[in-house]
Amino acid sequence: MKETRDIILRLIKIRQAERLTNNKGMSADDIQKLRDFILENRRRVPPFALSHFDRLEASGGRGIAAIENGKCSFCGTPVPKDELDYLEKAKNIGVCDRCYAFLYIPDDDCKIGDFFENLLKSE
């Protein structure tokens, strides 16, 4: 369970860091910090999960999406109740039946807030 949660959090942070590297207002030093962060975290995600995530992101989809109001937050497909129960109970990861994004039920651990602001401030 903890390993699955770790994968979810790493994929969320990788996605956000990749988006930030495309921000035109980023300094070269900040971009390098983000790239280093991405590489380190990619090393810690199992290859099967990383390849699925990368394939979806490269095709313009989303590699990971939260479940909001019982639906995939990316494509809006309803998630069956039995799957919601399983994901909630086990803090596990699922896959959307329509867009194939990894699905997770967000909680306080998934909120990255000012994580990257703090990362970029650190020396």
* Per-chain mean pLDDT for the chain: 92
Q: Would you say the pTM of this structure is higher than 0.85?
A: yes
Task: Identify which of 15-29, 41-55, 85-99 has the greatest average pLDDT.
Answer: 41-55
pLDDT in tens, 59-111: 999 999 999 999 999 999 999 999 999 998 878 899 999 999 999 999 887 78
Contact in structure between 98 and 4 (CB atoms under 8 Å): no
Tell which residue, 115, 73, 69, has the closest CA to residue 98.
Answer: 73
As given in the structure block, the two tokens for residue 117 are 């602001």
What does the pLDDT read at residue 114?
A: 83
Q: Which residues of 5-43 are buried (b: 16+ CB within 10 A; e: fewer)?
A: bebbbbbbbbbebeebeeeeeeeeebbebbeebbeebee
Domain ranges (residues) in the chain: 2-121
